[in-house]
Amino acid sequence: MWKTVVRRFLIMIPQLFVLSMLIFILAKFMPGDPFTGLITPQTDPARLEELRQQAGFYDPWYVQYWHWVTNMFRGDFGDSYTFKVSVASLIGDRGLNTLWLSLVSVILTYLIAIPLGVIAGRYQNTLRDKTIVLYSFVSYAIPTFVLALIFLYIFGYQLQWFPTSGTVSVGEDPGTLGYFWSKVYHLILPAITYAFLATTSIIQYLRSEIIDAQTQDFVKTARSKGIPMNKVYTRHIFRNSLLPIAAFLGFSITGILGGSVFIETIFGFPGMGQLFIQSIMGRDYSVITALVMLYGFLALLGSLLSDIILSIVDPRIRIE
């Protein structure tokens, strides 16, 4: 398996090269440049031209691309012209917030989806099954930003159960227990919102797997031997139905990392999703290209992670 993992990492190199070329070309087609947002009535045009010369904006495109790629491999993504800090430190701070949000969202998603999917599959066509299917249809139909606004208005402003922005309360000292619980408290509402939307596919897939497993020969054999139905579900149906769900875990984590734009923007959560929107609005090219490159790498890594998880939970499967 480890040979395959190494081979998959090597295959990612040309994929990332093609992705970097596309990102660079598309960035060049974007109107303006990173210094466009600095233009005011008091701005000296000569100073702007000097900054563009220093940044190498008038060099040939292949020279600019080579400088960008080599600097990126050294961990130097340039400086953010909007936030006045290095892109690496900016993404590091925001990325940590998004990582915690992703982990909490994934945990809540599976804690909600697995029990509901099992109940819906085991009690097919009953009131419980129809209620869960209705819930999954509703969560699938509601757009992300609409549900986020509804939850923010009800639980944030009306009931005031959760904070409406930020990652920690003012006045909490880092490293203290109060600081930790404040971070968790600020995560709950955005994570619940994302989990509500992300449970749909897992519920429907698990329900279908359980219904299909009930007709398999190994289940009929177990029942013919007089094994109680509860044990048939726990030892045979449930365990086999969870295998494909485990493979979704890698995609779930990387999907949330790249798909938290609406959630973070609406809840005022300073993560990579909110940073991406702010960078586009401010035409901060250094941040935009670094984030798109990072999202592409995470998508490739999620595919590999899902294969590894599936090969671990199911000994019959080996990625070759």
Residue pLDDT, tens place only, 118-139: 888 878 888 988 898 898 888 8
Cβ(115)–Cβ(129) below 8 Å: no
User: For residue 271, is pLDDT > 70?
Assistant: yes
Task: State mean pLDDT over 9-32.
Answer: 79
| Contact between residue 72 and residue 87 where contact means Cβ atoms under 8 Å apart | no
Return the pLDDT at 258: 59
Mean pLDDT of the chain: 77
- Stretch 137-150: mean pLDDT, rounded? 83
Distances (CA, A) of 123 to 11, 16, 204, 208, 216: 45, 46, 14, 12, 17
Spatial neighbors of 226 by CB under 8 A, at least 6 apart, are: none
Token duo for residue 104: 């909490």
Dihedral over Cα of 7, 9, 11, 13: its sign: negative
- Percent of the residues in the chain that have a pLDDT greater than 70, as a whole number: 78
Question: Would you state the structure tokens that stand for residue 232, as one six-digit string?
Answer: 């048939």
Distance CA 107, CA 87 (A): 30
The full length of the chain comes to: 320
Residue 214 contacts residue 237 (beta carbons within 8 Å): yes
The per-residue pLDDT for 166 is 79
Q: What is the pLDDT of residue 231?
A: 74
Confidence at residue 6, expressed as pLDDT on a 0 to 100 scale:
75
Distance CA 320, CA 318 (A): 6
Is residue 116's pLDDT more than 60? yes
79 three-state secondary structure: strand
> Residues 52, 33: contact at Cβ < 8 Å?
yes
Across 73-77, 106-110, 263-267, least confident range: 73-77
Per-residue pLDDT at 244: 66
Whose CA is closest to 79, among 51, 59, 58, 60?
51
Chain CA centroid to CA 155, Å: 23
52 pLDDT higher than 80: no
Residue with tokens 């094994």: 227
Tens of pLDDT, residue by residue over 148-203, are: 888 888 888 888 888 888 777 777 777 777 778 888 888 888 888 888 888 888 88
**Model confidence at 1: pLDDT above 70:** no
Q: Using one digit for the tens of pLDDT, what is the confidence trace for 229-270? A: 777 776 667 767 776 676 666 666 666 665 577 788 888 888
Q: Two tokens at 211?
A: 């219904």
Query: Would you state the structure tokens that stand for residue 32, as one six-digit string?
Result: 């303006």
pLDDT for position 316: 58
Q: Please check whether residue 80 is in contact with residue 87, taking contact to mean a CB–CB distance below 8 angstroms.
A: yes
* Least confident among 11-20, 211-220, 294-303: 211-220
User: Residue 42 has what pLDDT?
Assistant: 61
